Structure 1
Amino acid sequence: MKPMPLPKAIHRTQAWYRRLTVPQFTVVTGLLVITTGTFLLASPMCSDSTVGLWEALFTATSAVTVTGLTVIDVGRDLTPFGQGVLAFMILVGGLGLMAITTFLQGFVVRGASLRRRLDRGQTLDQFGVGGIGSTFRSIALTATVLILMGALVLYTFGFSDLPAGGSRAWASLFHSISAYNNAGFGLWSDSLEGYRTNRVVNAVIMLLIVLGGLGWRVTNDLWSNRQRLKRRNLSLHTRLVLRTSALLILIGMLGLMLTESLSKGHVLTTMGWQERVMSTLFGSVSARTAGFTTVPLSIQSISDSGLLLLMTLMFIGASPGGTGGGIKTTTVAALMATTRSTLRGHDDVVIRHRQIPDKVVLRAVSITVASLLFVLMMALLLALISDPTADDPLSFLELMFTCISAFATVGLDLGVTEQLGHLGQLILVVGMFVGRLGILLLLSAIWESFERDQIQRQNRVGYPREDLYV
């Protein structure tokens, strides 16, 4: 068979890309980035012989989805160049795979019609990314400034126990990148347990996690109103994100302190009160999609009630447009407001004297239900393939915790990931990818019948109403 000329192949590829919707383009780009990262990490210039294609695939997926789950030791198994490649993939995934995708799509689909460009912008706004062009540059500039500032403080005051020079500078920069992008990757096998009592490291890492998780919309709104910072000048989205995030951090800290103090023999009971407060605060912040730990995390060191609280925080996750995963803080806020309105017998959902559109409420319900069903399906599959006759069989709580950690792109691990075979780890790979892109975006990419023009045709059809008892 005669090979196709290169110009013709490029033309056909561009024509194929032009037919893709934004969700489909995002999925394809994500897969290409992960594939490229896999081959790079598996090469001798990035890793030693212990890192094969499978380990590289799992690590690349975890980096692009900013999860932090890993089956290798990053500091030992990857070369400095490999660690740099890993940090770059974290940046690609954390700064917004969809923003970068659409930025690239502007070069690929130059002949796109106005209708498709408007569709592209609406889809980005719908899935939590602010757009392209000047907005994309603002996102990148904000991230660069915050990451460099965090790295400078860590180098000067945080990692002062490390020898001054290149190793300390790289450790500071790598952990700053990982923290801002809510990735949870570290250069040490025990994460940040060695810096449990270091206030500077704890404060900088937590601040970067929170700022990355808030999202560019919130940080931009705060910066724009910095001269006249009053609550009424901030958007409803900003106020809701700040309020919900602060409440979740406080609930997580107090909840962990309560559950672990009542559970005798667990790790927090051996600490003083000052160290206990710092550890629970860090755990509450990190559980919202970051994945760093300052205390040993296992089924023996944390109580079942504490693990359940961490699972709840992980499932909620960060905020729309942020570097974290989960169903998002605004989704939970919308669900809580809907529940309050229902209990009061109101027909409209109102938050802070603002009526929320029905489509937002339906979207919040859809995201929550679809995400919960997906996580349950992951846990069911892992339970089916796990070996109950093993010397130390995995409990369903451990499996469920790991599934939520993967889907919400958190990266907290009870030691389950390395015990799973390739099939179990493949389930986690799929869960990380779906969780980072968003369950609704992935469904939109699979089912083209959800395109806007078809939805508009369906909306022209009216159906009779009938009550349903729930």
Structure 2
Amino acid sequence: MPFPKAVHRTQDLYRRLTVPQFTVVTGLLVIIAGTLILATPVCSNAKVGLWEALFTATSAVTVTGLCIIDIGQDLTNVGQGVLAAMILAGGLGLMAITTFLQGFVVRGTELRCRLDRGKTLDEFGVGGVGTTFRGIALTATVLILIGAIVLYIFGFNDITNHGERLWAALFHSISAYNNAGFGLWSDSLEHYRSNAVVNSVIIVLIVLGGLGWRVTSDLWSNRKHLQRRNLSLHTRLVIRTSLILILIGTVGLVITESLSQDHFLSSMGWSERLMSSLFGSISARTAGFTTVNLSLESISDSGLLLLMALMFIGASPGGTGGGIKTTTLAALMAATRSTLRGQDDVVIRNRQISDKVVLKAVGITVASLLFVLVMALLLGMSSSLNGEQAFTFLEMLFTCISAFATVGFDVGVTQNLSHFGQLVLIVGMFVGRLGILLLLSAIWEAVNKDRLHRQNRIGYPREDLYV
């Protein structure tokens, strides 16, 4: 029969895929399925065609939050529910989802394959992938429900319809924990800028989602004896780096926007300035929610530059955010310090970091920078060739970093781009969520199939290079 043969051939194809290739293929399939569902009349109105559905589905699965439609107006309740499901799938970790699904396709895998899949899921050891996935899902469910309950009771009190308030609380709790930045209102959370409860809940969910499974699991395991020496180096480094970035971002925004006249902090009191700056600093690290209108008129160039730096760094490994990750920045800073001190080894907190980790950090940063610059170059070429609305280089670079780091901040560029420009952002969101090295690895393995199992036993002579 033709159908069983097709299924068998599909399983055969999936068995031959490596973990990076499987992740890329499955991610594309999830986006395509989401696109087709969102484009149906049950999920959206006539304004949402296949292109709008594709952009929205990609933004949801990659937990970015960039939009070319109005989520609250153009999607039905069913469509919003589908969008929330895609946010959960992408936020809980696209690689975790695909690794879990791979167990149903690949039968009789050897120990080495299980180890590879475990690494993709950020697994600690050889234990089953399902156990870790259940832990991730349970943690997310508990935190999302707590956030939704607090928002429903104390946050969105101005919504009189209880059903609408419940859905708004649940949807924004899902979006916040998954660092997606999607909102049901066109102005994001600007209406709740002075609401301390809404700001606090969204901030806590963003931070907890961005810390990553390793960190939350380590903190929970040591909750009775929560001392620094009991925590792993990874946990201490993530927490320390995250706190420093939050502090730098908050103070930096207060200074840059207070010194600049007629910008978003100029009309606020000091308590609201601090709250808005804190919210902006945390949201910039891949969350995408805004309590102020982002544009060249509302924020200074120095403020935009600070936000771009925070966006590019992003969240932490295993978290729901994007960017190059906090640990990558920490490794680069430690390597720089060792170079300035004339040391041969990179040391963090009395622990020597392997050269492989440092090289990976350098590779991620350089590849990400080059990719973002190519995106900005393509957007500039698109604007010149198609006679689009003229954008400044700062606006285009800001939008490219926002897409690649899966943040979702927009300064009015995304909706005004041509389909080619929006396609550049779609590719950027997908690559940024998967990780630039994972995608390059998938491509390399596809091109060099014959070399996958060959070990390089050739040694090369060493020679110094002046840098």
TM-score > 0.5 by shorter chain: yes
Q: What SS does structure 2 have at the residue aligned with 1:308?
A: helix
Q: Which position in structure 2 is the counterpart of 1:362?
A: 359
Residue 215 (1) aligns with residue 204 (2) = no
- Residues 213 and 323 in structure 1, CA contact (< 8 A), matched pair in contact too: yes
Which residue identity does 1:225 align to in structure 2?
Answer: N
Aligned-partner SS, 1:269: coil
Q: Of 408, 412, 416, which aligns to 1:415?
A: 412
**Number of aligned residues:** 466
For residue 294 of structure 2, what is the aligned residue in structure 1? 297
Gaps of 5+ in 2: none
CA distance in 2, matches of 1:66, 1:107: 25
Of the structure 1 ranges 442-451 and 154-163, higher mean CA displacement relative to structure 2 is found in 442-451
Q: In the TM superposition, what is the alpha-carbon distance from 1:456 to its structure 2 partner?
A: 7.4
The answer on 1:350 being equivalent to 2:347 is yes
The answer to whether the 8 Å contact 1:124/1:131 transfers is no
Instruction: Evaluate the alpha carbon distance shift between residue 390 and residue 422 of structure 1 in structure 2; reply closer, same or farther with a 3 A threshold.
Output: closer
Query: How much does 1:114 deviate?
Result: 2.9
Kindly indicate whether residue 247 of structure 2 is the aligned counterpart of residue 250 of structure 1: yes
Spell out the pairing of 1:107-126 with structure 2 (5 A cutoff): 107-125=104-122
1:100 aligned to which of 97, 100, 111: 97
Partner of 1:44 in structure 2?
41
Q: Would you say the 8 A contact 2:95–2:120 is kept in 1?
A: no
Residue pair 2:64, 2:406 contacting (<8 A) in 1 also: yes
Q: Is the 8 A contact 1:179 1:209 kept in 2?
A: yes
1:133 to partner: Cα distance: 1.1
Verify: 1:66 aligned to 2:66, yes or no. no
* SS of corresponding position for 1:350: strand
Measured in 2, the distance between the counterparts of 1:421 and 1:449 equals: 32
TM-score calculated relative to the size of structure 2:
0.97
2:2 to 5, 10, 16: 5
Query: Do the aligned residues in 2 keep the contact of 1:99 with 1:131 (CA within 8 Å)?
Result: no
Structure 2 equivalent of residue 18 of structure 1: 15
Find the residue that maps to 1:271 and give its secondary structure.
coil
Q: How far is the alpha carbon of 1:111 from its aligned partner?
A: 3.0
Question: Relative to structure 2, which stretch is displaced further, 157-166 or 346-355?
Answer: 157-166
Determine if contact 2:62/2:429 at 8 Å carries over to the other structure. yes
Residue of structure 1 in register with 2:401 after alignment: 404
Q: Distance in 1 between matches of 2:307 and 2:237?
A: 22
State the distance in 2 between where 1:137 and 1:313 align.
31
* 1:283 aligned onto 2:270: no
Provide the secondary structure at the position in 1 that maps to 2:352.
strand
Q: Confirm or deny that 1:145 pairs with 2:142.
A: yes
Contact 2:91/2:320 (<8 A) preserved: yes
Q: Give the unaligned 5+ runs of structure 1.
A: none
Q: Is the 8 A contact 1:444 1:450 kept in 2?
A: no
**How large is the RMSD of aligned CA atoms in angstroms?**
1.9
Q: Contact 2:121/2:129 (CA < 8 Å) preserved in 1? A: no
Q: Mapping of 1:66-85 within 5 angstroms?
A: 66-85=63-82
Q: Which amino acid aligns with 2:437?
A: L
Counterpart amino acid of residue 281 in structure 2: S
Equivalent residue number for residue 34 of structure 1:
31
Distance 1:389 1:235 in 2: 53
Q: Deviations over 1:95-127 (max 9, x none)?
A: 011111011100100133333223322344399
1:267 alignment counterpart: 264
Match of residue 86, structure 2, among 85, 89, 93 = 89
- State how far apart, in whole Å, the 2-side matches of 1:455 and 1:336 are: 33
Aligned position for 2:314: 317
Q: Give the % identical residues.
A: 77
Q: Give the CA deviation at 1:393.
A: 1.4
Deviation at 1:449, TM superposition (A): 7.2
Once residues 329 and 388 of structure 2 are traced to their aligned partners in structure 1, the CA distance between those partners, rounded to angstroms, is: 40
